[in-house]
Amino acid sequence: MLKIDSVVKFYKKGGLFSKERQQVLKNVSFECKNGECLGIIGESGSGKSTLGRLIVGIEKPDHGTVLFEGKNVRDNRVRLGAISAVFQDYKSSINPFFTIEEAIMEPLNGQKKSQKEKQNKVDTLLHQVGLDPTYKKKYPHELSGGEVQRVCIARAISTEPKCILLDEAISSLDISVQIQVLNLLKELKKVYNISYIFITHDIQAAAFICDRVIIFRNGQIEENVYIEQLKDVQSEYAKKLLEMLITF
């Protein structure tokens, strides 16, 4: 379904007029299957969030392609309604001047549905993420961090996408709220058969929700392994990283 093929990404290094470039992603290739939850684990600066931005079409690779169902994600028509994202900074993910209803309804505005149908959809989505209809008229600043992230998830699934990128989507939340959100994501995956790209530094969270993980190092894939085989990783780096993340 989602295919990353020989992706390379550089960023300019130094000042405005500098010609020096730093390679952030180095010939990255992998696939995410329909309905799969694929984890991407790595240390800070490993390139995993850059990869996430390429997957959702925010940035473009210098070489290689990111394909969704055989079509380039740089084409907005390919992504529209089919690929969504939930980011770490939930506070800046929603317009603070929008009510919760307006925020969730925003991705639906391009669909040929009546206002009543959209409002009913918002009610359904709020129920699915564990929030009651009274939240519709509230504003983001009136909600807790966990509640705002639930709203972000409701908005992400509003178009019933086939794939959602989750970039450190639970790392800013309290542990108890993280568990609630992870359970919510697992339930929604069953309902909608969504594929997740789960970018995280939290190995326990990845083990809980993912089917398979890619271990990232310096912009390259160090290891690609199914969760049940995680303890059998081969490279020394992967072993040390997993030990470090488990004890962190």
* Domains contained in the chain, CATH given: 2-247 (3.40.50.300)
pLDDT at 70: 95
pLDDT at 246: 62
pLDDT at 247: 54
Question: Which of 240, 243, 164, 241 has the alpha carbon at shortest distance from 209?
Answer: 164
Residue 215 burial (CB count, 10 A) = 28
pLDDT at 248 exceeding the cut of 60: no
pLDDT at 92 exceeding the cut of 90: no
The DSSP code for 211 is S
pTM: 0.91
Question: Which of 25, 30, 33 has the alpha carbon at shortest distance from 163?
Answer: 33
Longest dimension (CA), the chain: 57
pLDDT at 219: 94
d(CA 244, CA 58): 31
pLDDT at 241: 77
d(CA 205, CA 201): 9
Asked which of 15-19, 32-36, 105-109 is least confident by mean pLDDT, the reply is 15-19
pLDDT at 16: 67
Mean pLDDT of the chain: 90
pLDDT tens track for 141-185: 999 989 999 999 999 999 999 999 999 998 888 888 899 999 999
Assign 113 to helix, strand or coil: coil
Alpha helices (H) along 44-114: 48-55, 76-79, 100-105
pLDDT at 190 exceeding the cut of 70: yes
pLDDT at 203: 85
pLDDT at 148: 93
Report whether 160 contacts 193 (CB < 8 A). no
Dihedral sign for Cα atoms in the order 142, 147, 153, 155 = negative
Region 15-31: mean pLDDT is 87
pLDDT at 134: 94
